[in-house]
Amino acid sequence: MPRTALLVSGALLAALLPLSAVSGAARAADAADDPAPVPVDRFEGEVPFAAQPADGIFTWGGDADDPPALHLADRADAPEGAKVLTGSYDISGYGGFTHDFAAGGPAHDWSAHRGIRFWWEGRNNGRKIAFEIKDGGANGEASELWTTSFTDDFTGWKRIEIPFTDFAYRTDYQPVGGIDHVLGLTRMWGYAVTLPAGTKGDFAMDDVELYGRADQSLRAAVTTDAPVRPVRAGGTVRVKVTLATTGDRPVDDPVTVTYATEGGTATAGRDYTPAEGTLTFPAGTASGATRTIEVPTRESKAAAAAKTIPLKLAVTGAKAPAETPQIVIDAHGLPYLNAELPVRKRVADLLSRMSLQEKAGQMTQAERGAVGGGGDIATYALGSLLSGGGSTPTPNTPGAWARMIDGFQLRTRANRLQIPLIYGVDAVHGHNNLSGATIMPHNIGIGASRDPRLAYATGSVTAAEVRATGIPWDFAPCLCVSRDERWGRSYESFGEDPALVQSMETMIQGLQGRADGRDLSRNDKVLATAKHFAGDGGTAYGSSTTGTYTIDQGVTTVTRQQLEDIHLAPYKTAVRRGIGSVMPSYSSLDIAGDGKGAVKMHARGDMINGVLKGRMGFGGFVISDWNAIDQLPGDYPAHVRTAVNAGVDMMMVPYGYKDFGATLVGEVKAGRISEKRIDDAVSRILTQKFRLGLFEHPYADTSGAAAIGSPAHRAVARQAAAESQVLLKNSGGLLPLKKSQKVYVAGSNADDLGNQTGGWTLTWQGASGTHTRGTTILQGMREAGGNVTYSKDASAPTGGYDVGVVVVGETPYAEGVGDVGNGHSLRLSAADQAAVDKVCAAMKCAVLIVSGRPQLVGDRLGKIDALVASWLPGTEGEGVADVLYGARPFTGQLPVTWPKSESQLPINVGDPSYDPQFPYGWGLTTLTDVPRGGTATLRALGAAATVAERRGDDRAGRALVAEARLLVQQQAGERMTQAVAKPFADAGHLLLTGRYGKAVEKLTEAYRAA
């Protein structure tokens, strides 16, 4: 986050003296041995308004009207020359301007100078203006950002001088994720100004230049080996002090470090032996030289909370450490630290020792990018951090994740009770934030597999890879029941049938282990999160009020029975399976007859306290969604008390953690939130931390890191990709392909790993192209031994081929950004349509649709010989190739209804009127032993299925229904009618609810109508 810059004496002088006097004083201030100032921008027209790769000034902003309007204006009072840069702005999100040096030229070297300065015409509005410089990298838009700010609290022209030592590495955004985190100043690419948002304004600026002689402290720094050094009582801490220089050059002048143990909660002489002295690094000392400071502590048999010993350092000749290192004598002898005690007793003991502020900290979750180096973790006693989508360390490796989280965890040691953090990520289809991780198919593909054992296996692999990077908590699985495929989150759902969603909840055990929580402390298990409670998949199209979203975060309108049967049913199963946390939905719930109208789920105490925690008996904790409380009515205190009183235990307030904590404490002190409610929330959170073993092992156990992205893990993802493929049409048995066939491959998604993995892959929205390790469908076909020619747009000649495979579909999106009507549709792109038309007109063709939801292809279905719903299969394209070439059979079944037109939506199994392109549960097979028979066979299967149902023989019952289903599909062929589709879909639901005899009865009805 930006830090406030210091305005040095030149700025103060400029505010007090006439312009001529200021200019003279500025010239006199340049010492004889200082280099001459170097102009960067004079704003006389020498630098054009232009963008990369050219040298130029350009504007930018969060939306179309956020970029400021810039002009070069003639001004008689210009501090330098005749012109100044002026601008006006009205910024709702973010906006500003940049001067990027030419990307084709060499970077600039600013290392000889003390800092950068410029003239600014103040408006005395008290607003902060952020100023950034661009260091290293390939060019101005692929560099490292270093930031500071100044305050417009003056009137008229003022010279702002900013030493380079005032700039801090920007932690909330980096265009390339960071390079080396060192402000080297030898490869500079320009600067940027971020203007204030929220109200209209204007500005004037002139004469940007480099000034002064470089300070050794800019290129030399003193660091300590850690900001926090825990030690057991009686141990001796050895703090390593290191001198580091940019470019590894020796220092020209001596560097001295005077140190003393002073202050803190430990008592000198009783808890530790005081230490003080001076360390010296003589002139000529090489970078990397170290000295050591020893601080002995005293043994203590009495139980005690942790105590701190600040080690204060005064540095001359180099930059001092950013913060005072803290030695911490660990807490010891307290009951909550005793792993032999039952968890409930440990929780009760710890809770009894906590202050209200410490409890508030446990109920607070911040984003990693907001806490920078982590000092606020101790300051605000934060209980949790998260990585949002795309929020990753640099480099994005397992080791870097573990080091980052260990660094954050180390900060908790400085608090008196040393309560560890619980760190969470959205690992929704594998450890999808981690480069090189195993990426599974999205949930809609897992639902298509109809394989609970596979769901368990994918959860197990995900948990192992997540925990091996030091993360104990996963915001997954999504238990939404997707009722309208225009929803941008529909691929996060296992399907439209609550019974299907319930059957796939074996994933919870894959993530967490046994339902009683005894496996959570293992190094390959994580706390799981059921989301989004409840009804997020049922929002009505057009009901969203969030930005340009059309359906996500909208309103779900239901009767109480519909709510119970469709949207609450998966949570009953999750609670029985021991789910550790639950996340409410952004959406609103409108229950017919309750008189409340549409109420945001984060405010529905009747559902969170009443149904989830009360009737269902949920014993874990409730975590809010990202800034979700900001969508509640009223002022901020109302947001906090409404959500907490409704039963939300931990608040995800990524960048607002300070305000949340202070507001929560204030609401409790005012009596608007009870201490009993706070204690309940904190008890629930602490219970899971104890179960996860975080008090005994707060740091990352990386022993499983070697398995991340391993062949064994990728084999599970490959199986999942294969089982997720749904064969919708297969005229003439075109599939499986033969390796002897000459195959023409085309389409936008044949060779695009990013499109194949979809949203929530390395970044929140995902991206097209190759951004992680994996195999595309085209590569998988080649590795399978296929005789393949590829032409993405089908522009290559199409003659001489036996069969065409056209892989088309969607590009990545996530959440409401992907809502249909928000820049997305259910129709193929023009390029994909053209590829399908050209290839299918030239040869027999199979069309694979790589997408998060059904695509409307009915107008082309007659020209397509084979049609496959491939969903979003993840990184293992070989799994798709496996079924294309027959190494595995097609066995997937539709987890959602495939519509004929958008006007049919929403359309779902069980609807009174049901006439889809393909019904829920449809899925042809390429098994060699497809059963044969007719109505007599179906009668026999029905009788046997009824007997199996009565006996509770689920395995036999499912097998009998599966045989009947294949008979119906064989009979129906390509003649899909409403009379076939409705009973066929109903049978799929009945199968999942264990009513095997009735399922065969419905299939018999469909057979007769075929």
What is the DSSP secondary-structure string of 574-630?
HHHTT--EEEE-SSEEEETTSS--SEEGGG-HIIIIIIIIIIS---SEEB--TTGGG
Under 8 Å CB-to-CB from 614, ≥6 apart: which residues? none
Residue 949 vs residues 959, 991, 1002: alpha-carbon distances, Å:
12, 10, 15
Helical pair 996-1009 and 935-951, crossing angle rounded to 10 deg:
170
How far is residue 902's CA from residue 854's CA, in Å, rounded to a whole number?
10
Instruction: Give strand ranges (E) for 449-551.
Output: 473-474, 529-533
Per-residue b or e along 543-555, where b marks 16 or more CB atoms closer than 10 Å to that residue's CB: bbebeebbbbbbb
Under 8 Å CB-to-CB from 894, ≥6 apart: which residues? 448, 726, 728, 869, 918, 919, 920, 921, 922, 923
Q: Is 925 helix (H, G, I), strand (E, B) or coil?
A: coil
Q: Is 290 helix (H, G, I), strand (E, B) or coil?
A: strand
How far is residue 796's CA from residue 561's CA, in Å, rounded to a whole number?
56
Per-residue b or e along 26-48, where b marks 16 or more CB atoms closer than 10 Å to that residue's CB: beeeeeeeeeebeebbbbbeebe
Per-residue b or e along 745-759, where b marks 16 or more CB atoms closer than 10 Å to that residue's CB: bbbbbbbbbbbbbbb
What is the DSSP secondary-structure string of 377-443?
HHHTT--EEEE-TT---SS-SHHHHHHHHHHHHHHHTTSTT-PPPEEEE--SSBSTTSTTPPBPPPH
Residue 97 vs residues 78, 85, 147, 173, 970: alpha-carbon distances, Å:
20, 11, 14, 16, 64
How far is residue 873's CA from residue 726's CA, in Å, rounded to a whole number?
12
How far is residue 444's CA from residue 724's CA, in Å, rounded to a whole number?
8
Per the CB < 8 A criterion, the answer to whether 507 and 459 are in contact is yes
Evaluate the CA torsion angle 866, 870, 875, 880 in order and state its sign: negative
How far is residue 1010's CA from residue 1007's CA, in Å, rounded to a whole number?
5
Strand order in the sheet with 651-652: 473-474, 422-425, 384-387, 364-367, 651-652
How far is residue 467's CA from residue 525's CA, in Å, rounded to a whole number?
6
Per the CB < 8 A criterion, the answer to whether 927 and 886 are in contact is no
What are residue 554's phi and psi, to 5 degrees?
Answer: -90, -150
Q: What is the dihedral of CA 489, 495, 498, 503, to 10 degrees?
A: -120
Under 8 Å CB-to-CB from 401, ≥6 apart: which residues? 392, 393, 434, 469, 470, 471, 700
How far is residue 451's CA from residue 870's CA, in Å, rounded to a whole number?
16
Quick one: which H or E segment has residue 313?
strand 307-316
How far is residue 645's CA from residue 424's CA, in Å, rounded to a whole number?
23
Residue 347 vs residues 286, 336, 359, 682, 850: alpha-carbon distances, Å:
51, 7, 12, 9, 48
In one-letter notation, the amino acid at residue 510 is: G
Question: Which residues are the active-site residues?
Answer: 625, 815
How far is residue 781's CA from residue 778's CA, in Å, rounded to a whole number?
5
DSSP 693: T
Per the CB < 8 A criterion, the answer to whether 857 and 828 are in contact is yes
